[in-house]
A and B are shown apart, each in its own frame.
Chain A
Amino acid sequence: METYYKPDDLPKFPEIGKEAPELAKKFFDYYNAVFAEGALTEREKSLIALAVAHAVQCPYCIDAFTQACLEKGSNMEEMTEAVHVVTAIRGGASLVHGVQMRNVAQKLSM
């Protein structure tokens, strides 16, 4: 069955540079610099990326950063906790807007 998301498309990501090579180079240089060891380790950055990949629900990113996390030495327990962190933030972001709901409701209610 045809699908918009194909695993074989992931390695084609660099082709995005064909129509705008300078912009692509800036992006990929920046991207590689971001993930290099800094104040945070490469392993920690990959865990953050994995969590964010779930928040933005990008199948390519989940595929790539699951492998990256494993190859940086994270285990399934840590990776699962990272997904729960992003889930808590996403859920919390919805729930905290309940305060606005309450504010509006209180303003309109007797």
Chain B
Amino acid sequence: MKDDYALQGQGLRERPLEPFPLALSKHSLSLRRGKTVTLQINVGLLCNQRCLHCHLSAGPERREIMDLDTVEAVIAYAARGGFHTIDITGGAPELNPHIERLIEGVFPYASRLMFRSNLSVISEGKRSRLIDLLKKRRVAIVASFPSINEAQADSQRGNGIFQKSLAALQRLNALGYGLEGSGLELDLVCNPTGAFLPAPQKEVEKRFRQTLLKKWEISFNQLFAFANVPLGRFRTWLEEKETLAAYIERLASSFNPCSVEGLMRRSLVSVSWDGYLYDCDFNQARGLFMGKRRTHLSEMSGPPLEGSPIAVADHCFTCTAGQGFT
């Protein structure tokens, strides 16, 4: 009877936390790889920001950066992997000194290139050559933009970042990014500014689109709303706030078995700054190697095999909560 009383809006469900694999098996599900179509490249943990929600604990003090040899090995892997999409992330990938070589190198081998930006590096105006390259190669820019409220955005990302982000978005719009018909894609990623789940993606996108256009004349293509992953700096923050258990319970109680089929990690392989393979960026943060074996991409003849198992842990509840992480 108690499930009948799961109050919408209050999330009142009495359910003890169960391990993620058990949650899968209760629904007769297992997490296995589909066809791997995306190569995600993490070029390092160096970042000019120190965001509180960062699952990788990226920051200015981090020295883990993809070197030129690894960049070349990644390009060679992209050439033999037959990936549809290549997704470049960090840290702040703008800060990797070999980033232009990486973009030029992988460009011929994928139909779609994505570049994740925190916007603040771009706003500093020192990256004109990189931005020109992104535009020339029609690279989609996927930018972090958590809130249309300045105080909340800055509370997650650091003082002054909201204004820098607006300036960067305006600069990208001026170059044609995010404008209809330009072919230059500008997407936003919205992570909650605290220990709560993201709002429904379509509604957030609608509100952000209206507000950004009305207040700052900013346009974008799509918005993705993702939950924060309880790893790295975000986990530390949750522990300090004494909300870690409640947050994980919130994720687990929102487990949506329908989200498993479409999980991004089923079709993605993630490369760390030092060239090792993971099932996703979150497993990278957790140190869970792909196939539970430390494999360098130079050992791979192609993408990971379809049907191979995916390493899971309790942080995986993040990607199966509600609408999921696809």
Q: 1/0 contact trace for B10-49 toward A, CB 8 Å?
A: 1111100000000000000000000000000000000000
Complex Cα–Cα for A12 and B145 (A): 37
Whether A46 contacts B1 by the Cβ 8 Å rule is no
Q: Chain B residues near A11: list those with CB within 8 A.
A: 12-14
- Tell me whether A67 and B11 are in contact (CB under 8 A): yes
Task: Return chain A residues, CB-CB under 8 Å to B10.
Answer: 10, 13, 64-65, 68
Stretch at the interface among A70-78, A82-90, A96-104: A70-78
Across the A-B interface, how many residue pairs have beta carbons closer than 8 Å? 76
Query: Quick one: which of B1, B5, B7, B203 contacts A73, CB cutoff 8 A?
Result: B203
Q: Which residues from A are CB-within-8-Å of B200?
A: 72-73
Residue among A10, A36, A65, A75 making CB contact with B12, cutoff 8 Å: A10
Does B147 sit within 8 A of A, measured CB to CB? yes
B198 interface hit (Cβ, 8 Å): yes
Does B151 belong to the interface (CB within 8 Å)?
Answer: yes
Whether a CB of chain A sits under 8 angstroms from the CB of B148 is yes
By DSSP majority rule, is chain B's interface helix, strand, loop, or mixed? loop
How many A residues touch B, CB cutoff 8 Å?
A: 31
| Given the contacts A14-B2, A64-B10, A73 and B152 also touching, CB distance less than 8 Å | no
Instruction: Answer yes or no: B181 CB below 8 A from chain A CBs.
Output: no
Q: 1/0 per position for A29-67, CB-CB distance to B under 8 A?
A: 001100110000111011001000000000000001101
Contact, CB under 8 Å: A41 / B7 = no
Instruction: Report the minimum CB–CB distance from A73 to chain B (whole Å).
Output: 3
Smallest distance from the beta carbon of B220 to chain A beta carbons, Å?
Answer: 16
Q: How far is the CB of A44 from chain B (nearest CB, A)?
A: 11
The distance from the CB of B152 to the nearest CB of chain A, in whole angstroms, is: 6
Residues of chain A lying within 8 A (CB to CB) of residue B149: 75-77
Using a CB–CB distance below 8 Å, which chain A residues touch chain B? 10-14, 17, 21, 24-25, 28, 31-32, 35-36, 41-43, 45-46, 49, 64-65, 67-68, 70-73, 75-77
